[in-house]
Amino acid sequence: MTSLNHVTQHLSNLFQKASKARNKNWQVREASVLNLPYPDDAFDLVISNDVVQHLPTDGGDARGINEMARVLAPRGALLLRTNSRLGMWQKSDAKDVDYQRYLRTEIVQKLEAAGLTVTRATYANFLGSLQESAGRLFRKPAHGRHHHHGAEGATPRSVYEGLQLRDTAKRHPVANRILLGLLQGEAKYLDRPGRSLPFGHTILAVAHKRG
């Protein structure tokens, strides 16, 4: 198993986890998805977790997906998770230099353009996204004040809003259990073949390389 990242903080966390893991074959490496340091057909499974939306918006997402397809072995699988713009109440062409959101059809098109066959694509986090979307209608968006990865001198972002984490588990344990139950129910629903959700702030897709 190999984990890649190019952000110092994330790399440090990965190294700590790998050092404590039972799997001694877990390798951690600094690298960019835009130029993966591996030969063609190197992996049977590639997982991209919240990566493509942070790539340069001048075509970086397509280059990154092409690289993932390149290192994927024939009949191998790519599991991709990214952000959806459904219910974000923003224009379809809204983007920063290194951040954007997608529709499910757009992700499917990008995967197919890389020569992959999409076997599953769905939105996710349905109920939580409905609540967030409703809230956005009544509060002023906090645009223009976030800086991607804390880069010094970076241009303020108009679309990227930062990673807003709330310690719900400790501060609101009952609400946390309810939210967890909703997500577990959604996961159980999506576990059945052919099922998908029509709305959500997350997009999940599974694609295979022809072989």
Residue 93 lies in a domain: yes
Residue 17 lies in a domain: no
The total number of structural domains in the chain stands at 1
Residue 85 lies in a domain: yes
Give the span between the Cα atoms of 46 and 207, in whole angstroms.
Answer: 10
Residue 13 lies in a domain: no
Question: What are all long-range contacts of 107-111, with beta carbons under 8 Å and residues at least 24 apart?
Answer: 107/80, 107/82, 107/203, 107/205, 108/205, 110/52, 110/61, 110/62, 110/65, 111/65, 111/78, 111/80, 111/205, 111/207
The whole-number pLDDT of residue 191 equals: 95
Beta strands in 9-90 (DSSP E): 27-30, 43-49, 72-83
Residue 201 lies in a domain: yes
Give the span between the Cα atoms of 201 and 164, in whole angstroms.
Answer: 14
Residue 15 lies in a domain: no
Query: Which residue range(s) make up the domain with 71?
Result: 32-209
Mean pLDDT of successive 10-residue segments in the chain (211 residues)?
82 81 82 95 97 96 98 98 93 92 98 98 94 83 49 61 66 86 95 95 97 85
Give the span between the Cα atoms of 85 and 62, in whole angstroms.
Answer: 18
Six-digit token pair at 194?
Answer: 């052919």
- Please state the φ and ψ torsions of residue 100, each to the nearest 5 degrees: -160, 165
Domain harbouring 58, CATH code: 3.40.50
The whole-number pLDDT of residue 142 equals: 53
Residue 14 lies in a domain: no
The whole-number pLDDT of residue 6 equals: 83
Residue 160 lies in a domain: yes
Give the span between the Cα atoms of 175 and 168, in whole angstroms.
Answer: 7
